[in-house]
Structure 1
Amino acid sequence: MLYIYVGLAGAVGALARYGLGLLVDSFETSPFPVATLFINLIGSFLLGWLTHRFLHAGKPSPQIVTIVGTGMIGSFTTFSTFSVETIQLVENDHALLAVAYVFLSITLGLWSSWFGYRIGTKTSTRGEVL
């Protein structure tokens, strides 16, 4: 049954990623993959926040962690698209943009995860639930 729930959560994450990607792409025309960067940063923040919330909200069931973390957020973010877009930037003579994309994705992704985790820390110490 867990597989079904992970699949359903994955469908929600994938549809959210697709819709948000279309929305962001409708405003952006540069070769820089803004939509994927934006989506991955949101996902990094959410996983950081949820990880802290799950760890400090008592003992959440491993199934819930898997459904939300692997299913929904895992399908919302995408390393494979990041990788392919980086290669495409290089092949289309945008090597500097590719380097910037890799740097920003890693640096801001780690910062977003840390920030989400810190926000989770601050809210859990006050007993609030966001």
Structure 2
Amino acid sequence: MKKYLYIGAFGFFGSMLRFAIKNIQFRHSSVFPINTLIINITGSFALAFVFALALNLKKFDENLKLGITTGFIGTYTTFATFCKDAFGLIEKGHYNYAIMYILFSIGISMLAIILGINFAERFKVKEDEDEEDITAEL
């Protein structure tokens, strides 16, 4: 039951952040869905980071991991909106934007995953160093 509370609570904040970012007015062509692109790239980074961090750290609460990944990031990112935006660009005849959007979404999100994993690896080293310091003091 506790995991559902975590997922629901974190999901609330993920959906609110997504809504806030989706409504930011960037200076760009109104045709290109930059907001969804930003949401999905940052979500890809965050998901990879949290999963890698959970694997690297010895103590990572399973409910917290579910809350962050399924709840927050699951409601924050949006594959359906990505598909809707890409289809909308194609339907309106903006083929170049559609191709750029699809390639950027997939390509940059994959790079964000690699960065998220690499960034989480730094915490593993830090945790190991802290354990050595604690052991040396004992």
- Retained in 1: the 8 A contact 2:52–2:117? yes
- The corresponding residue for 1:41 is 41
Cα offset for 1:122?
2.0
Post-superposition offset of 1:59: 4.5
Q: Match of 2:104? A: 104
Question: What one-letter code is carried by the residue in structure 2 that aligns with 1:121?
Answer: E
Q: Give the 3-state SS of the residue equivalent to 2:23 in structure 1.
A: helix
The structure whose Rg is larger is: 2
**Aligned residue-pair number:** 127
- Counterpart mapping for 1:15-30 below 5 A: 15-23=16-24, 25-30=25-30
Deviations 1:49-93 (A, max 9, x none): 111111111143332221110000111110000000000000011
**Alignment partners' CA distance in 1, 2:26 and 2:106:** 25
Residue of structure 1 in register with 2:66 after alignment: 66
**What is the rounded CA distance, in whole Å, between the counterparts of 1:12 and 1:28 in structure 2?**
27
Q: CA deviation at 1:112?
A: 0.2
Q: CA deviation at 1:8?
A: 1.5
- Taking the aligned partners of 1:97 and 1:26, their CA distance within structure 2 comes to 16
- Structure 2 distance, partners of 1:62, 1:126, is 21
CA-based RMSD of the aligned residues comes to 1.6
Letter in 1 for 2:12: A
Change (3 A) 1:4 1:126: closer
The two structures have a TM-score, normalised by structure 1, of 0.89
Residue ranges of structure 1 left out of the alignment (5+ in a row):
none
- Tell me, which stretches of 5 or more residues in structure 2 are unaligned? 130-138
- TM-score of the two chains, using structure 2 as the length reference: 0.84
- 1:14 corresponding residue in structure 2: 15
Counterpart mapping for 1:74-113 below 5 A: 74-113=74-113
Q: Where does residue 116 of structure 1 map in the other structure?
A: 116
